[in-house]
Amino acid sequence: MAQIQSYSNLDQGQFDKLVSQDFPFIISDCNFGSCLQKWNAEYLSSKLNGSSVKVHVSEEPVLNFLTKNFRYETQNFGEFLQKCAHPDGDQQYLYLRSIGVDKRGRDVADIQKHFPQIADDLVMPPFANFCTDIDCEEEGTTKCTKRHLFSSVFRISSKELVVWTHYDMVDNILLQVKGEKRVTLFPPSDAPFLYIRGDKSEIADLDQENIEAEYPLFSQATRLDCHLGEGDAIFIPALWFHTTKALQFSIGVNFFWKDRQLAAFYNRTDVYGNKDLIPAADAYSNVDKALKHLSKLPPKYRQFYLHMIIARLNKELTE
Span interacting with its own copies, options 3-11, 23-31, 149-157, 283-291, rule CB under 8 A: 283-291
- Kindly state the smallest distance separating residue 308's Cβ from its own copies, in Å: 5
Residues 21-50: x where in contact with its own copies by CB under 8 A, - otherwise, as a string? -x----------------------------
The two beta strands, 181-186 and 241-246, are antiparallel
The string over 113-146, giving b where at least 16 C-beta atoms fall within 10 Å of a residue's C-beta and e elsewhere, is: ebbeebeebbebbebbbbbeeeeeeebeeeeeeb
Minimum separation from the CB atom of position 241 to its own copies (A) = 11
CA atoms within 13 A on the CB side of 312: 6
| Cβ distance to its own copies smaller for residue 37 or 189 | 189
d(CA 257, CA 140) in angstroms, rounded, equals: 11
Task: Tell me the window of 36-44, 86-94, 174-182, 309-317 that interacts with its own copies (CB under 8 A).
Answer: 309-317
Which CB sits closer to its own copies, 134 or 313? 313
Cβ distance to its own copies smaller for residue 52 or 189: 189
Spell out the alpha helix ranges (H) of 64-152: 77-85, 111-114, 116-119
Contacts of 215 (CB under 8 A, 6+ apart): 195, 202, 203
* Options 3-11, 77-85, 126-134, 190-198: segment touching its own copies (CB under 8 A): 190-198
Show contacts with its own copies in window 4-23 (CB under 8 A): 22
- Residues 214 and 98: their CA atoms lie apart, in Å, by 33
The answer to the question of residue 290 lying near its own copies (CB under 8 A) is yes
- How many residues comprise the chain? 319
Determine, following the binding rule CB under 8 A, whether residue 130 of this chain makes contact with its own copies. no
Our CA dihedral for 194, 205, 271, 99, rounded to 10 degrees, sits at: -170
**In the chain, which ranges are continuous DSSP H helix?**
12-20, 35-38, 41-48, 77-85, 111-114, 116-119, 211-214, 278-294, 299-318
**What's the min distance (Å) between Cβ of 166 and its own copies?**
13
> Alpha helices, DSSP H only, in 7-143?
12-20, 35-38, 41-48, 77-85, 111-114, 116-119
Binding of its own copies by 1 (CB under 8 A): no
Give the ranges where 157-219 is alpha helix by DSSP (H).
211-214
**Residue 240 pairs with which residues in a beta bridge?**
none
Binding to its own copies by residue 211, rule CB under 8 A? no
Residue 309 engages its own copies in binding (rule: CB under 8 A)? yes
In the DSSP assignment, the letter for residue 194 is: T
* Contact call for residue 214 and its own copies (CB under 8 A): no
Q: Which of 188, 207, 208, 222 binds its own copies (CB under 8 A)?
A: 188
212 binds its own copies (CB under 8 A): no
CA–CA separation, 39 and 177 (whole Å): 7
300 binds its own copies (CB under 8 A): yes
- Contact set for its own copies, span 244-273 (CB under 8 A): 261-262, 265
Position among 103, 104, 143, 312 found at the interface with its own copies (CB under 8 A): 312
Task: Give the footprint of its own copies on this chain (CB under 8 A).
Answer: 22, 188-189, 191-192, 196, 239, 261-262, 265, 276-277, 279-280, 282-284, 286-287, 289-291, 293-294, 296-298, 300-301, 303-314, 316-317
